[in-house]
Structure 1
Amino acid sequence: MTVIRILPHAALCPEGKTISAAPGTSVCEALLENGVAIEHACDMSCACTTCHVIVREGFNSLGEADETEDDLLDRAWGLTPQSRLSCQAIVAATDLVIEIPKYTINHARENH
């Protein structure tokens, strides 16, 4: 099992959290399965940016983002070079440290 440490997020996990996930699981699935209610408006189909995370440690273990993910990330709030859509970031054997950005952009909920 791979250890994922989630940095504190005021609304989703104020104290931060450490969870385990099987390699091959998406970061989004791992968060949801462990009680971290990250938004995922497109039901993990790589069609929005609501599950955007910043991978503070272990980024290179996730494999490369495809063109669709890269295009979507360009619209994410708080984009960094270590940003990924958690629904597309597949856990490998390397432990991860994840930051969930303070804000997310949900075009459907915000009537865009």
Structure 2
Amino acid sequence: MVQQNNYQNQPVQVAAAGRRALTGAAFGLALIALFLAGVQHPDPAWGKLWMIRPLLIVPMAGALGGLINYMLLHYHRRLGIHKAVAVVLSALIYLVGLWLGSVLGLVGTLWD
């Protein structure tokens, strides 16, 4: 008799993946909002709506990081990695993604 692994047949749970993405986006939005709240006198050359770009891009990077976190933790057995390694790897991917999203969102304004 051949044993079949149940983890190979697990479908993606859209609601759980969406919650992880929303959590990542909310954390990114809170972080960039706190950072932008400290700007008292922005450069007039940036324009009136200079905050929109970082307030959109950083939460999108956070949402992607949250989705990657879900995928790594959901499929860690199929990928052949230990769960602790998947947690650390997903945290590193999230932090790097959030940093790159911040750079992309702030380029030309606060990131010179």
Give TM class, smaller chain: under 0.3
Name the structure where strand makes up a greater proportion of residues.
1
TM-score, reference length from structure 1: 0.19
| Structure exhibiting the larger radius of gyration computed from Cα positions | 2
Q: TM-score, normalised by structure 2?
A: 0.19
Q: Which has the higher helix share?
A: 2
